Amino acid sequence: MRRLVPPFVSISILSLTVGCGQADSTAFADVSDKSAEELAATELPQLGEAPSWALRRLDGTELNSAELAGKIVVLDFWATWCGPCRQEIPGYVAMQRELEADGVVIVGVSLDQAGPSVVSDFAERFGINYPLVMGNQKIVGAFGGVEAIPTTFLIDRDGQVRYRKVGAMARSEFEPLVRSLL
């Protein structure tokens, strides 16, 4: 049994690393083959009601989906060690700053196993200005099984999932989708 542990650990780490930034999967209905700009120019489809959730912020207080009712929510599953996740952060920081008054909120769902102190240090270094919560298997399952990170969901003011993206997305791609829901 001892000999099986190191290969298993190696395979697990390799799976997570390969998954970081992988192409889109189909946990929610496939949106279409259209680009983000084409989707923003038309009405975004509804992919189903977003599940309810309650997660711990980095300071231990709770943030739940009911508190965000009536807002446009960008729910981003990420981790501090994920390169594509890191690339998205400056765009999310800028969008939070610019669109918060319009009822847009970015929520980062950290899938880091190292705990909130590591995420908190990272958030401070990167100037993250939006709420960060610690994810768990329950929320991953509720959103159809997040198979790779980053995975981002766009939820409208009525609580409907309007877009799902697996893999990194530039602000220039994502912001038009968010603005189409304002």
Instruction: Please check whether the domain covering 2-179 is classified as CATH 3.40.30.10.
Output: yes
Q: What is the pLDDT of residue 43?
A: 56
Query: Strands of 54-57's sheet, edge to edge?
Result: 62-64, 54-57, 132-134, 104-110, 72-78, 151-155, 161-166
Cα–Cα dist 127/143, whole Å? 27
pTM: 0.79
Structural domain spans, the chain: 2-179
Coil, helix or strand for 56?
Answer: strand
Q: Are 163 and 177 in contact (CB under 8 A)?
A: yes
Q: What is the pLDDT of residue 94?
A: 98
CB burial of residue 172 (10 Å; 0-12, 13-18, 19+): exposed
pLDDT in tens, the chain (182 residues): 434 333 333 333 334 444 454 444 333 344 445 555 554 444 566 679 999 999 999 999 999 999 999 999 999 999 999 999 999 999 999 999 999 999 999 999 999 999 999 999 999 999 999 999 999 999 999 999 899 999 999 999 999 999 999 999 999 999 999 999 99
